[in-house]
Chains A and B, each alone.
Chain A
Amino acid sequence: MRAEFDMSSDPEGSGPGPAASVAGVARSIAIRGLNLRLGSQTILDDIHLTVAPGELLALLGPSGSGKTTLLRVIAGLANATGGSLHFGDEDASRLSVQQRRVGFVFQSYALFRHMTVFDNIAYGLAVRARRERPGKAEITRRVVELLDLMQLSGFGSRYPSQLSGGQRQRIALARALAIEPRILLLDEPFGALDAKVRKDLRKWLREIHDKTGMTTIFVTHDQAEAMDIADRVAILNSGRIEQIGAPGEVRERPASGFVRKFLE
């Protein structure tokens, strides 16, 4: 458990650890005619998007295209000004951010810096109302299981500042998975990491996704990253979806000049 146990070596090859019972039943996400206007500005313009249960979808677009905002609207961290949003057959737009129970991973990790890794992962379980809260032993079991899944066993007593960027992001993912989210949303999760670590974690994320089978939306501006791991790719440009399709399809038959240029 020394500091030289660096993430750059371990997720490669060995793959994710033992399967964890992290996922609930996978839900679909259905977005219809979603708008977000701030004054005269249109941030999101008539978004239609359906994500199948267990699918991994990448939201791809240049910065300022609205992909992060769309993700925040789905999570309930931002409000749309029109349109509908469903998780499965549940109207998610009526639910508060807490009720939506989405796993959200931030580009900046957003780990609680004054808590240990263990407390970070346990947070979502510990803040539940008493009757829904698992017992202490159960929480410990879940955290240990998730640390195993992230190949970070034994890191529980560390603080975020003692971890590398890649390790922090894996802890952030573990924390998001701990609440058994209905869907998983990742906002440029590897944006702050260097190229080598990015590549390793990308593969790793795909493996975790296959293991947990969770409906996942993944925001990125890196088209190689999107093409590499996503089942389907949605390309955004100034608040509109230009094209949705499988990576090969989008690459071979770009629907617009913008898509063609962006994928070049």
Chain B
Amino acid sequence: MSDLVMPRRLSVGVTEESAWARRLLIGVAVAFLTLFLLAPLAIVIIESSRKGWTGYFQALFDPDARAAILLTLTTAAIAVPMNALFGLGAAWCISKFQFRGKNFLITLIDLPFSVSPVVSGLVFVLLFGAQGLFGPWLVAHGVRIIFAVPGIVAATVFVTFPFVARELIPLMQQMGTTEEEAALTLGAGGLRVFFTVTLPNAKWALLTGLLLCNARAMGEFGAVSVVSGHIRGLTNTVPLQVEILYNEYSLAAAFSLASLLAILAVVTLGLKAVFEHHAGSSRDAR
């Protein structure tokens, strides 16, 4: 039998190109990466250090900048846990149960990714703004959502919703339900099964999802820009503050603040690599 399935030639295939073609392709890829990914990062760092360390920290400790940083942290601190819960719930329903409308739900989860963030922001204005659907009621009860922190948080939650769910769904679907069933037959209740079997198995994917969700929550511009109203020191997040400073030609200050986002990006990528490494090694056979 082994005579019939002798491998023909192992090293033949699509990866074999002439040396110059390989060099050219690699060169193009490296040039592209440098121009579009590394250069911007370098420019942010260089521009922000133009006025030295003192200038850098002055820009960061400016009251408006501090307010922006605080607002960004607050927004992420609310949006990320909320989406952790929503994402876990959605992923759990989709991967562990059979029900009608499942594919529709999966599509719906991706909606925030497919809609322009500006439109997402506008929807919130149309719903909760002074002229919006719930506007009169909110005004009568003295609740401010648009041009205030709740609107910023809501827009951020909406825009960052898919991250956790999207990381978890494929993983949890692949894991299947037999481990959970085994736990049930061993006498564990539903919640117990979730916390001792489902969650530990999804741990690294969950962390990756949270990380990406956090990065987007802190960096979101479009949707937040629409609902924020750009009130300095009150409703400006870091990305909005960067834009304002840039438009005022305070380039050094703008880049100093932007450097925070750049650092966030680098840290995010580093952690993501770590998490995915762990996820890969724990995805072994049972």
What is the interface of chain A, defined by CB distance below 8 A to chain B?
Answer: 75-77, 97-98, 100-104, 106, 108-114, 123-124, 127-128, 160-161, 168, 172, 175-176, 178-179
Is B189 positioned at the interface, with any CB of A under 8 Å from its CB? yes
Residues of A within 8 A of B197 (CB): 112
Could you tell me if A113 and B201 are in contact, using CB atoms closer than 8 angstroms? Answer: yes
A85, chain B: closest CB distance, angstroms: 15
Rounded to whole angstroms, the CA-CA distance of A254 and B257 in the bound complex is 83
Give the residues in chain A near B103, CB-CB below 8 Å.
none
Q: Does B39 contact A (CB under 8 A)?
A: no
**Closest residue of chain A to B284, judged by CB?**
A161
Interface residues on chain B, number (Cβ under 8 Å)? 22
B186 touches A108 (CB 8 A): no
Q: When the two chains form their complex, are residues B186 and A113 in contact, meaning their CB atoms are under 8 A apart?
A: no
Give Cα distance in the complex from A112 to B179, angstroms: 6
Contact of B200 (CB < 8 Å), options: A100, A114, A123: A114
Contact B178 A108, beta carbon cutoff 8 Å = yes
CA distance A172 to B182 in the complex (A): 9
For residue A95, give the distance in angstroms from its CB to the closest CB of chain B. 12
Query: B-side interface residues toward A, CB under 8 Å?
Result: 176, 178-179, 181-189, 192, 196-197, 200-201, 203, 282, 284-286
Please, which residues of chain B bring their CB within 8 A of the CB of A114? Answer: 200-201, 203, 282
Across the A-B interface, the 4 shortest Cβ-Cβ residue pairs: A124-B186, A161-B284, A110-B178, A110-B182
Q: List 26 A-B contacts (CB under 8 A).
A: A77-B181, A98-B184, A98-B189, A100-B185, A101-B187, A102-B185, A106-B178, A106-B182, A108-B178, A109-B286, A112-B183, A112-B197, A113-B179, A113-B284, A114-B282, A123-B186, A124-B187, A127-B186, A127-B189, A127-B192, A128-B187, A160-B286, A161-B284, A172-B182, A176-B185, A179-B186
Q: With CB as the reference atom, state the residue of chain A lying closest to B283.
A: A113
Say which residue of B185, B203, B282, B285 sits within 8 Å of A104 (CB atoms): B185
Q: How far is the CB of B2 from chain A (nearest CB, A)?
A: 17
CB within 8 Å: A-B pair count: 80
- Nearest A residue to B185 via CB reads A104
Distance in Å: Cβ of A130 to nearest Cβ of chain B: 13
The distance in angstroms between the C-alpha atoms of A113 and B185, with both chains bound, is 17
* Contacting residue for B184 out of A97, A103, A175, A178, CB 8 A: A97
Tell me the bound Cα distance from A75 to B176 in angstroms: 18
B201 to chain A, nearest CB (A): 6
Are the CB atoms of A77 and B186 closer together than 8 Å?
Answer: no
* Contact across chains for A98 and B188 when beta carbons are under 8 A apart: yes
Given A110-B286, A113-B286, A114-B200, A123 contacting B185 (CB threshold 8 A): no
A106 to B285 Cα, complex, angstroms? 14
A77 touches which of B184, B192, B282 (Cβ 8 Å): B184
B172 → chain A closest CB, angstroms: 14
Across-interface contacts of A172 in B (CB, < 8 A): 182
A108 partner residues in chain B, CB cutoff 8 A: 176, 178, 286
Min CB distance, A158 to chain B, in Å? 12
How far is the CB of A30 from the nearest CB of chain B, in Å?
20
A172 to B286, CA, bound (A): 10
Give, as a whole number of angstroms, the nearest-CB distance from B96 to chain A: 13
Query: Are B187 and A113 in touch, CB under 8 angstroms?
Result: no
Report whether A161 and B185 are in contact in the complex, using a CB–CB cutoff of 8 Å: no
Residue of B176, B196, B282 with highest tally of chain A CB at under 10 A? B196
